[in-house]
Structure 1
Amino acid sequence: MSDSSYFFSEQSQEGSPSNTQGTVIYWFRNDLRLADNRALVHACQHVESLVFVYCHSLSTLHPQRWNLPHSGLHRQRFVASALADLSDQLNAMGSQLLEVNMSAVEFLPLLASELDSKVVYCEEIAAPYEQDDILALAAAGLTVHTHWQSTLYDPVHLSFKPDALPDVFTQFRTLIEGSDLQPPAPLPAPQYLPALPDNFSQILKKWGIDSHADITMAKAQESAGASTLQADQRSSFPYFLPEFSGASTAACAHVEDYFKRKLPHSYKQTRNQLSGLDYSTKFSPWLASGAISARQIFSALKKFEAEHGANEGSYWIWFELLWRDYFRLLHLKYGHRLYFAKGLSDFPAPVHDAEKFTNWCLARTGDPFIDAAMAELAATGYLSNRMRQVVASYLIHELACDWRAGAAWFEAQLIDYDVYSNQGNWLYIAGRGTDPRNGRRFNIQKQVHDHDPDGSYRRLWAKPGNAAND
């Protein structure tokens, strides 16, 4: 049976809840917003009282494979600001966000027992570890209603099932463009939220939680040394500034400003630049955390094109959103296979040189272009799309290291880490995914010539940072 059966079995549960349930848990995952949140809408329609939960698994701070954490300090701080904003929005609607430093698998069954509840609503994430969490909660006796909501196009509306997804992106794009299919309009935020249960304050007291601030990720960050994290003024995504914080309100304001300044018309020409605020959309960090949805962005894009006209640049924004969909649909088709050493290929397991990998991570390869990019990534948690491809190619094809180690480093470092796109892109570069050319090996000297001919990028990151304390 295909791994995509996860998706269809969960989707079939959407109509199954009784008309009114008692207390239900809403578990926020990568959907840190109230608007265009299908799972939240369904939860609000079927319950009398609702408890909102976000679980900071401390395991994300501990080394896993390759001796790397799942989430680095940059992303932790970005997500913390998203949660603070989400908490404020919930408070304004008479509710509250319960944040705990435990995994969902550990905490949700305990909370469900306290609430005398067996039901959890959340978004569907079709990646192995995330699926394992759902299975573990089900094994603990909980009924989990998952809702697919992270793609632009709804998979159930496509002309093919996930198992029949073309293995070449261009073929997939052609199918979409040849149809009249349009993404669903984004859903508005709920006008009201079900009340908190009567015993909610007692639960907070039992767990030693007095307020949102008492249990935020700030404590975990402090224990992990985040107090030493500095704001690097060279960053192309300065998340330490309010307008680039993780908040969904900041995300919506950024999207509005981006289109108001008519930047989509120049996107195709500037998207491969290496530094600056305006060369790319900068939507990806908010998309990754779910502070804004692809459909909200698409709706703004269509409004912009209706008012100012479409061109190759605005088309390319849709093109990039479609790539994002494609990597998600690949997970529905192939599931765990995307995480095997050989990926979807028949190649032998990749070799690995631990010393070269460490030097790559620490910006000590000896190649000024590569080291500049790796220094930027470590200092800011962000890297241009062009440089992500270049450094990935260098690690795989020049240093002969395991692509999975590179994927793990990006997971640990990137503010905008997205499990689907990260895995899909690394497989693509390694030639172990769906690239019809069996991988992408970039000529580093050509990349320097094309994208940093005057050496400005290398000089920018070769010197100590122009940093100020956050």
Structure 2
Amino acid sequence: MGCSIYWFRADLRLLDNPQFVNACQHSESLLPVFVLPLQEQTPWCFERASKQRSAWLHQNLRDLRNSLEEKGSTLLVLEGKPSHVLPALYKEIGADALYCEAIAAPEEEQDVLELQRAGLNIHTQWQSTMLDPQTLGMDIGELPDVFTNFRQWVEKRRLKFAKPLAMPKAIPPLPTKVPQQDPIQESAITLFVNGGESHALRHLEQYCERRLPDSYKKTRNALSQFDASSKFSPWLAVGSISARTIAKRIHQYEEQYGANGGTYWLWFELLWRDYFRFLMLKYGKRLFRPMGLSQRTPNTFNPESFHQWSTGTTGIDLIDAGMRELAATGFLSNRMRQIVASHWVYAMNGNWQAGAAWFESCLIDYDVYSNQGNWLYVAGHGTDPRGGRAFNVAKQIAQYDADGSYRKRWLN
């Protein structure tokens, strides 16, 4: 027991945050910290995080700070590389431990490795999946490469979700010396949802109170209606709500109203999210190679065609509508993501990594696991048993925008 730092990463919540609870139980004093990344360019010469995505992160940080202050603590926000700012803070406050969640992506693992090399005593814990990996009954190295086989394995064992943890009853006092930094920004950008755990929990509750799970399976592929899909993903992406909290609430809903196709499909989508996380635990850096898990050479990058695709000026109405919605809102329906990604890779012979990087920049619900997994899947460089997903745009229009309302909304 001593002075500790809790480094919030993609877990900006107090409810069901096992590692934060662990830090509270093993610290005499505790300083909650978040490290804002420095703005940087991608290899394709655009900002790695758009204004919408940055505004979303700052909203969630403000809400987390409010929650911590209500419990007598606060959130110190620093800016820079974790390997630079955290060792200096660790030394300044006389910390003897740093707690954080484990993230299996290469850059995030490198951050932890560099902090260990700097001499910090780091405790990490895996906590971002609905299922506890320890309950799978298999080693991660044995994870099936086909999602359907994974789902069947899970269902055969009747695994549903790990039990969420309550908020910590008390947070240890702050260290006597807390540096003053506050790079959290107010933004004039209006997003279609409000950031933070308090809003996430309210959204989940109203979603269930309005009986929207009942219609989820039927409406989830709609292109733009807000209530057609759950819209849990922005909060899940930054960890303002956990998959286990959502799964538990849907389970309670089933106990009250009965299970149906919609409630099953919500769980099914959370299982896909788990699968992409477990896949990264299994394959790590291989998922970030140009050829991914395949032996195929990816398409080369063409700046001119990328400009047309990313700005919604390809001349293909549905694609242009989707890309303009993405630029304007920081969001796209799952169906539209698949359509525009497929068009970029197959119709425009685009480089899948550049497409994935554009989604990372734009999406307020960007999640390293799901974004990488889905792009690999569509482009045929991942685990798709069909070797990729080429969509027929005319067929998609006939099925999902026959009246042209979606295209009219975003092209005018």
TM-score range, shorter chain: over 0.9
Query: Quick one: structure 1 residues 166 and 428, their matched pair in 2 at CA, closer, same or farther if it must change by over 3 Å?
Result: same
Give the equivalent residue in structure 1 for 2:131: 153
For the residue of structure 2 that corresponds to 1:377, the secondary structure is helix
Identical-pair percentage: 49
Residue in 1 that maps onto 2:140: 162
Confirm or deny that 1:398 pairs with 2:352.
no
User: d(CA) in 1 for partners of 2:42 and 2:222?
Assistant: 34
1:216 partnered with 2:194:
no
Is the counterpart of residue 87 in structure 1 residue 55 in structure 2? no
Post-superposition shift, 1:191?
1.1
Residue of structure 2 in register with 1:64 after alignment: 42
AA partner of residue 71 (structure 1): A
Answer whether contact 1:76 1:217 (CA < 8 A) is retained.
no
d(CA) in 2 for partners of 1:329, 1:176: 13
Report the equivalent of 1:467. none
Query: Once the two structures are superposed, what CA deviation does each residue of 1:37-57 show, in whole Å capped at 9, x if it has no partner?
Result: 011011011110000101112
Question: Does 1:413 pair with 2:362?
Answer: yes
Aligned to 1:197: 175
Post-superposition offset of 1:116? 1.7
When normalised by structure 2's length, the TM-score is 0.98
Is residue 42–residue 357 contact of structure 2 (8 Å, CA) maintained in 1? no
Kept in 2: contact 1:56–1:217 (CA 8 A): no
1:150 and 1:69 map into 2 onto residues whose CA distance is 27
Answer whether contact 1:382 1:416 (CA < 8 A) is retained. Answer: yes
Deviations 1:42-94 (CA, angstroms, capped at 9, x unpaired)? 10111100001011121xx2212211222211111111111111111111111
CA shift, 1:313, in A, is 1.1
Query: For residue 383 of structure 2, what is the aligned residue in structure 1?
Result: 434
Where do 5+ consecutive residues of structure 1 fail to align?
A: 1-19, 219-225, 232-237, 464-470
SS across alignment from 1:48: strand
CA distance in 2, matches of 1:166, 1:69: 35
1:453 to 360, 382, 402: 402
Read off the aligned partner of 1:441 and give its amino acid letter: A
How far residue 215 of structure 1 moved from its aligned partner, in angstroms, is: 2.7
- Displacement, 1:245? 0.8
The CA deviation at 1:184 is: 1.8
Paired residues of 1:264 and 1:313 also in contact (CA < 8 A)? yes
Equivalent in the alignment of 1:76: 54
Taking the aligned partners of 1:180 and 1:322, their CA distance within structure 2 comes to: 13
1:180 counterpart residue number: 158
Letter in 1 for 2:281: L
Matched, 1:319 2:268: yes
1:189-230 C-alpha deviation (Å, 9 max, x unpaired):
011000111222xx33xxxx3xxxx43134xxxxxxx65x4x
Partner of 1:66: helix, strand, or coil? Answer: coil
Question: 2: CA distance between counterparts of 1:300 and 1:187?
Answer: 13
Amino acid at match of 2:315: G
* Residue from 241, 261, 276 that aligns with 1:292: 241
Give the structure 1 partner of residue 28 of structure 2.
48
Equivalent residue of 2:122, what SS?
strand
- 1:300 and 1:314 map into 2 onto residues whose CA distance is 10
SS of aligned partner of 1:440? coil
Aligned-partner Cα distance in 1 for 2:357–2:76: 29
1:109 counterpart SS class: helix
Give distance in 2, aligned partners of 1:404 and 1:102: 25
Question: What's the offset of the Cα at 1:119?
Answer: 1.6
Match for 1:37: what amino acid? N
Q: If the length of structure 1 is used for normalisation, what is the TM-score?
A: 0.86
C-alpha contact (below 8 Å) 1:38/1:149 kept by paired residues: yes
Q: State the alpha-carbon separation in 2 of the partners of residues 376 and 326 from structure 1.
A: 28
Give the length in aligned residue pairs.
Answer: 412
Match of 1:101 in 2: 79
Gaps of 5+ in 2: none
How far apart are the structure 2 equivalents of 1:326 and 1:173? Answer: 9
- Aligned-residue RMSD, C-alpha: 1.1
Distance 1:102 1:25 in 2: 17
Match of 2:4 among 8, 17, 24: 24
Cα deviation for residue 350 of structure 1 reads: 2.6
Q: Is the 8 A contact 1:343 1:427 kept in 2?
A: yes
